[in-house]
Amino acid sequence: MSNFPWLTVTGAVPLVGALAIALVPGRSAAADEAGQRARDRLAKQIALVFSLITLALSLVMAVEFKPGGPRFQFAQTYQWIPQFGVHYAVGVDGIALVLIVMTTILMPVVLLASWNDAEGLAGPAGETPPRRSVKTYFILMMVLETMMIGVFGATDVFLFYVFFEAMLIPMYFMIGSYGVGKRQYAAVKFLLYSLLGGLLMLVAVIALYVYSASGNRPGTFLFLPLTHLALSATVQKWLFLGFFIAFAIKAPLWPFHTWLPDAATAAQPGAAVLLVGVLDKVGTFGMLRYCLELFPAGAHYFTPVILVLAVAGILYAAIVAIGQKDMKRLIAYTSVSHFGLIILGVFAMTSQGQVGATLYMVNHGFATGALFLIAGFLIVRRRSSQIADFGGVQKVAPVLAGLFLISGLAGLALPGLSTFVSEFLVLIGTFTRYEVAAIFATLGIILAAIYILWMYQRTMTGPVRDEVAAMPDLRARELWAVGPLIALIIVLGVYPRPVINIINPAVHQTLVHVRSTDPVPPHPASALKNGSNP
């Protein structure tokens, strides 16, 4: 089984699914409404089946993965463009593996929750949904899943860049063609910001190849050989910036974040989950994988500035979230705050910080995914995303309100839920080296309690508004969609060890490469010797 191309097949299955959906007959003027609905339903079912196959393959990889084995497993390397040293090279370490599994778990969940998204049922009341192709929407989702698996699995920097940029296309159309409100403005803003970052990274990628080809050596884009390049500190600083700004925009890190609230608000809830839960993780994954290991001197040089930006993002986004009136926009700002914590853990350069940051990427995907999806269910029922349009929902839809509360409590990192473990590790790992940054970041927990509980209070409690009095509770399909995420939030909050065991070796190798070790706490005897009294 070790020779089987698990990673390539896992990434190819959604693409095959997209082709299968494309073969479903499209919309025809001669077709009756019942026939069209049947074809649309078939397209959705094909997408769901192929996403479940992809999930099964990723779980097999997780079982077969050996944390104590080689760093990159399920690896394949083939020449792609020999003249430029470009390879089709894929492989996963523990960090990439858990993010791929997170992606494949979220995709069938999103497909189930997005069953009617293409029909525009999550739009504002009174807005006539445009006539959209259901088939195309689910093709875009399948293609996007292939790109997301590819970007985490690539071990050739040029191949990574190709997937990094290719992800933009399906998401651009999912926002611009299938979104609500100012969808075209949000889609263009998302695309322009991302392309600007990608252009800077492309310059740095080309420069890396040029430096790898110096001294009459054959140039390469392969990740591991590039980590051994002897680059001067000045060169590392400039190339680090090229990669880091692209990842900071994608993450998004304050002040590069302004595209996210617009995009997440305009996107359908399922698309917003993929945007915030997976695509944005490429930014923090890239910082951990490429910024630190390719340019360790540059990473150390810019760490103080990045920590300041991360803490500013944690506090700024949390404060702004408190004042939001739109439910999806509020959740988007909470994610900006959470990404500040993830970046803080990455650049604390301690084992606890980086393990916590990686675990936070996974847990944030599940917690924020659940929050976005349940908010989407609310919006479909009320035909409004304005918090003020709700009230008393828990009395008419108690299951919906209860799951909304659990996912919200995960958003504020309540002990016993998955995000608490991640946040605790990040803050502990940061405090051992940067006490002030950790103390200010801790204030974000207090602010999180305010924006989450206040949103719950305004939407779920109080007198029942006339407009929500007839609101139905969650249906079976919706429970199947959000139920697995709620279960994972609870299970990983109680027993995160299996995931941490997979992540640990990869984090250790990263820290060794950047020549960073965990701070040693002072020994009590030395503290007394230095003048402390018992």
Q: What is the pLDDT of residues 57-74, one digit of tens each?
A: 999 999 998 988 888 888
Residue 454 included in any domain? yes
Three-state SS at 434: coil
Report the alpha-carbon distance of residue 280 to residue 365 in Å, rounded.
Answer: 10
Q: Which pLDDT score, from 0 to 100, does residue 37 have?
A: 78
Q: At what angle do helices 94-113 and 476-494 cross, to 10 degrees?
A: 160
Residue 498 belongs to domain spanning: 6-529
Residue 1 included in any domain? no
Task: Classify residue 63 as exposed, middle or buried by CB count within 10 Å of its CB (0-12, 13-18, 19+).
Answer: exposed
Instruction: Answer whether 195's CB lies under 8 Å from 172's CB.
Output: no
Report the alpha-carbon distance of residue 186 to residue 194 in Å, rounded.
Answer: 12
Q: What total of structural domains would you count in the chain?
A: 1
Residue 26 included in any domain? yes
> pTM of the full predicted structure?
0.89
Residue with tokens 């999550």: 122
Q: What is the mean pLDDT of residues 154-165?
A: 91
* pLDDT at position 230 over 90: no
The angle formed by the CA atoms of residues 453, 454 and 456, to the nearest 5 degrees, is: 65
Q: Which pLDDT score, from 0 to 100, does residue 27 have?
A: 65
| Mean pLDDT, rounded, of the chain | 85
Q: Which pLDDT score, from 0 to 100, does residue 81 have?
A: 83
Q: Which pLDDT score, from 0 to 100, does residue 526 have?
A: 47
Residue 534 included in any domain? no
Look at residues 14, 532, 63, 510 and name the one whose alpha carbon lies nearest to residue 299.
510
For the chain, helix (H) and strand (E) counts, in that order, are: 23, 2
Residue 182 included in any domain? yes
Q: What is the mean pLDDT of residues 450-465?
A: 86
Residue 246 included in any domain? yes
Residue with tokens 């077969």: 64
Q: Which pLDDT score, from 0 to 100, does residue 233 have?
A: 87
Report the alpha-carbon distance of residue 500 to residue 98 in Å, rounded.
Answer: 10
Look at residues 306, 326, 303, 325 and name the one whose alpha carbon lies nearest to residue 314.
306
How many angstroms separate the Cα of 149 from the Cα of each of 160, 210, 282, 354, 436?
Answer: 11, 28, 10, 21, 37
Q: Which pLDDT score, from 0 to 100, does residue 1 have?
A: 47
Report the alpha-carbon distance of residue 235 to residue 294 in Å, rounded.
Answer: 11
Of 126-140, 254-268, 473-487, the poorest mean pLDDT is in 126-140
Query: Which phi and psi (to 5°) does residue 279 adopt?
Result: -55, -45
The angle formed by the CA atoms of residues 166, 223 and 96, to the nearest 5 degrees, is: 65
One-letter amino acid identity for 101?
Answer: V
Report the alpha-carbon distance of residue 462 to residue 456 in Å, rounded.
Answer: 10
Residue 399 included in any domain? yes
pLDDT tens per residue, range 334-385: 988 989 999 999 998 888 889 999 999 999 889 988 988 988 888 888 888 8
pLDDT tens per residue, range 127-146: 544 557 788 888 999 999 99
pLDDT bin (cut points 50, 70, 90) of residue 521 is low
